[in-house]
Structure 1
Amino acid sequence: MKDFRLYAITGEQFHPGRDLIEVMEEAIMGGADILQLRDKHSGREELLRKAKDLRVLTRKHGVTFIVNDHVDIALEAEADGIHLGQGDMPLTEARKLVGGKIIGISTHAIEEALAAEEQGADYIGVGPVYPTATKAEAAPVSLSYVREVAARIRIPFVAIGGIKLDNVDAVLAAGTTRICAVSEIVGSSDVAGTCRAFIRKIEESRSRIWS
């Protein structure tokens, strides 16, 4: 898969009254280079419509498009890949269905990260780093887990969960070079500007790590 820096996930509850495609295009214009459709409430028909619209948008801008959970929607919408949680379809089963498409896996402990890597995940999510309204029931993994993954995992990983512009420096310092955000991006009054601010911080951190 193409490398990425800023991973934006849909969260329509954070921008009521604003169009999904408009908001996500602003994120892309600000530098988001991978988008995920995450929607736990819409029916299949509505979900597929959103996926197809986002597929058109991401193709227009050359951005990677991922669908959360729904392998059938990802395939029908011709998404680049899927993202699965620990309680979703097993990675090995999903691989049989999606072939060479991208598969991302959410992880909350190093054992899950190692298993995902061994089973052939293309990337993993590491989090939630901080408490988050997106997954209020999930216990934060803290920066120590980010450091552990940075030290032990070789596939790409992205830190996620409660990450804001005012705490992202600490997350980057823990060893990640990729950031995912939901409410901080899509709930912003300046979506593109917020993404540009994240990109600046990521690039500054990368330059220090790789210099």
Structure 2
Amino acid sequence: MFFKTEIDRVIDANRNRCIEGLRVVEDYLRFIRNDSINASAIRDIRHEISKILDFDIVGARDVNSDIGKNNLHNSYTRIDQVLRANLSRTKESLRVLEEFTRYIDTSISDRIMNIRFRFYEVEKRLLSNKDLEKIYILADVGLVESESDLFDGLKILLDNNVRIVQLRAKKFSTKKLYELGLKIIEFFPHLKLIINDKVEVALALKSYGVHVGEDELPFDVVRDLMRNNVVGATVHNVEDLRLSQIAGVDYIGVGAIYPSTTKPDCQLNGIEFLKKIRALTTTFIYAIGGINSKNAKEVFNAGADGICVGSGFWHAKDRIEEIKRLIHISSEEEN
């Protein structure tokens, strides 16, 4: 059984944590990003929380007996970690406040719940700042007949305003991959080229980003090396997700959703796994694995923000028609 003093201590601690976290986020947006719109949204939430919880419970505070007061915190190595840490701190404290204020006044709890959902939307905006698009094409050299075939496909994509492409060539040497990437950038300067696995190639090309799996460099190391460029990570399980969140990747590739000819031996996780990961993160999710225009709608309905398409595009009977169908489906999801 809870006693009022214990509940007051919980509310007091989390009210402070929430308001402090919001203030850090607000100042980060104000002074680091110069983002007046989102800073204003965070400020409004901070003021509203202060007003809702404006009752005297300071007397219940007992710092000396708080068993968590000496908890150690990880040091920051990048400035964006300040933002991410305080977004998480605020989100967690809002949930605690929502639960424990039910013992005081359910109307207060309901108001905090509404604020929590508003905060989720702001958080999603803040963490989805790399202009990611709904359609992402995996250009695996094993899926095309020749370099000419690859370039023909890339032209179709750009002609239809599909710009994010991941270049994958597992059997290529580092030099050969670099040379192909350089040629693609020269021919298609408006393409947002992401390099699979090879961070050194992505850095040398100054490409849009890099995508890494669990067998490559640790996600956090890649994040540090790529600085402000896009970093994507493959997520096959909850542990992969945890590591990707700590690293602060820009998107995660979740799959395999369906059987795929690109990676026939890849672990098949399915739609339910996608739903599970969606419930655990606000990070931009690209569903991957066997996706085409016949199943893309199901993937979007399961919570994916975007789709990564490989053989579904490259092996389509009519690539132009297939990409147009995918564009139509993704456009429907925006409406």
Amino acid at match of 2:151: I
Higher alpha-carbon deviation: 187-196 or 149-158: 187-196
Paired residues of 1:14 and 1:186 also in contact (CA < 8 A): yes
- Alignment map for 1:37-186 (pairs within 5 Å): 37-59=167-189, 61=190, 63-186=191-314
Query: Aligned-residue CA RMSD in angstroms?
Result: 1.7
Equivalent pair of 2:275/2:302 in contact (CA under 8 Å): yes
1:9 to 138, 152, 159: 138
User: Contact (CA 8 Å) 1:114, 1:153: kept in 2 or not?
Assistant: no
Greater relative contact order: 1 or 2 (C-alpha under 8 angstroms, separation 6 or more)? 1
Distance, in Å, in 2 between the alignment partners of 1:205 and 1:21 is 29
Name whichever of 92-101 and 11-20 sits farther off.
Answer: 11-20
Please report the TM-score for the alignment, with normalisation by the length of structure 1: 0.90
- Equivalent residue, structure 1, for 2:50: none
In structure 1, runs of 5+ residues without a counterpart are none
Please state which structure has a larger fraction of its residues in helix.
2
Deviations 1:78-131 (A, max 9, x none): 101110001110012222322221110000123322320222111100001011
Question: Paired residue for 1:27?
Answer: 157
The 3 A distance-change label for structure 1 pair 57 and 149 is farther
Q: CA deviation at 1:51?
A: 0.7
**Distance in 2 between the 1:107 and 1:57 partners?**
32
- CA distance in 2: counterparts of 1:19 and 1:171, whole angstroms: 28
In structure 1, distance between residues paired with 2:259 and 2:317 = 22
Equivalent in the alignment of 2:111: none
Following superposition, the deviation at residue 57 of structure 1 comes to: 4.1
Which residue identity does 1:13 align to in structure 2? G
Cα displacement string for residues 10-31 of structure 1 (whole angstroms, at most 9, x for unaligned residues): 1233331443222112122234
Moved over 6 A (4+): none
AA of the residue aligned to 2:330: I
Asked if structure 2 preserves the Cα contact closer than 8 Å seen for 1:161 and 1:181, the reply is yes
Kindly indicate whether the alpha-carbon contact (under 8 Å) linking 2:233 and 2:251 is maintained by their aligned counterparts in 1: yes
- TM-score, normalised to structure 2, is 0.58
**Partner amino acid, structure 2, of 1:76:** A
